[in-house]
Amino acid sequence: MRYADFDELTGTLRAVGQRRALRQQLRDLHAEMLAETSAQQPAADAPAPGALRATVNPLLRISRTERVLRDFWSGHRATVGVAASVAVLAVFGSLLGLEAWRTFSAKPSTYGYTMLRLELKQLQKNQRALSRSLNQVDTGKGGAPAPVNNGKFSGTGFALTADGYLVTSYHVIQGADSLLIEGRDQQHYHAETVYADRAHDLAILRIKDRDFNGFGRLPYTFKAGQADLGERVYTLGYPREDMVYGDGALSARSGFGGDTAFYQVSIPVNPGNSGGPLLDEHGNLIGVVSGRQSDAQSAAFATKSSLLLRLVDSLAKKQPAAPYHLPHTNRLVGTPRPQQIKKLQDFVFVVKVFEKD
């Protein structure tokens, strides 16, 4: 229930309480009137036998309190009747409103924000081999693998630099004990979290395999400014084993609840799309897919690339010995969309999350 509805309901209940207090005051006043009337009629008022009976005006025996009460009733009879009717209706209305509120609260709301981390329910055929490799300390001596929980999650990530840094969503890697990056060619890399920005749902990962030789030259660049409303955009991700393409338009410059760190885009997304790149029609990376509105599959949200660049700049200042070499040349400009996708698909990965028991 909204705050305005709740405030209106509490106001009605408060009015009912005030009317009840007024009725109680009237009852107390009536009781006081009866008590004073009884006190002014002693037994000596009875006439003696044979004595003349005097005709007494009944108004002379009415106490001041009773007279005030009668005058009040005569002048406010209609008002009191209306107030009583309103009080009865208000009580019944309040009861009905409370019952409706309980019924409404018992039903789960479909309006909300859904993060798109995919829960994997089935192990792949090479699960045992990956688990042994994932939990083995890379010292050249081998060792027994630590137990890994069969339940794990996955999302999407993409290359940030050519030398092994990647970007994904924070909620994808949240709670991870180990991370595995899987490319389109089924090549696997172990990764570690370098930095996590929970507020903007961003995480920077780094490939830590010794035999990793780099991603190669990145074909896209990161847009520092704002994207235009209505601009055509698209994304690549892994909501299933195969890469999935989705396109739409930038429908709002703010995200869920008016958050200005995010865009809203009209692209159908599903669990597994989180962390995927959002690009404009020129191949500029403008955002990182984060989630969607629960009751509208085509209302998706993405963290703006300007926030990502700001994060990279702040980290570069803290770690001058290991700078981030971002791409400066966009090789997708003027290229048809299918050709853009062919150049992009080798830089978009599955991010697999493993958790220990």
Mean pLDDT value of segment 303-320 = 85
Check pLDDT > 70 for residue 103.
Answer: no
Tell me which range, 24-38, 145-159, 230-244, 319-333, is most confidently predicted by mean pLDDT.
Answer: 230-244
Alpha helix ranges (H) inside the chain: 3-39, 64-106, 127-135, 170-173, 305-318, 337-344
Q: Which residue has the tokens 């009884």?
A: 38
Residue 112 has pLDDT above 60, yes or no: yes
Average pLDDT along the chain: 78
Q: Give strand ranges (E) for 212-269.
A: 221-222, 232-237, 244-252, 262-265
Tell me the C-alpha distance between 239 and 118, whole Å: 7
Handedness of CA 249, 250, 251, 257 (dihedral sign): positive
For 25, 37, 54, 351, the CA distances from 33, given in Å and listed in that order, are: 12, 6, 25, 84
Residue 355 buriedness (CB in 10 A; 0-12 / 13-18 / 19+): middle
Close Cβ partners of 92 (under 8 Å, ≥ 6 residues apart) = none
Range in 71-85, 207-221, 246-260, 309-323 the model is least confident about: 71-85
Residue 345 has pLDDT above 90, yes or no: yes
Q: What is the pLDDT of residues 40-95, one digit of tens each?
A: 555 445 555 554 454 545 544 566 667 666 766 666 666 666 667 767 677 766 76
pLDDT of residue 137: 45
**With contact defined as beta carbons under 8 Å apart, do 297 and 116 qualify?**
no
HSE at residue 152, side-chain half, CA atoms within 13 A, is 25
Residue 160, pLDDT > 80, answer: yes
| pLDDT-based confidence at residue 245 (cuts at 50, 70, 90) | very high
Write down the architecture of domain 118-354 according to CATH.
Beta Barrel (2.40)
Ordered by start, the domain boundaries in the chain are: 3-39+61-106, 118-354
Look at residue 252 and tell me whether its pLDDT is greater than 80.
Answer: yes
Separation between Cα atoms, residue 209 and residue 191, nearest integer Å = 8
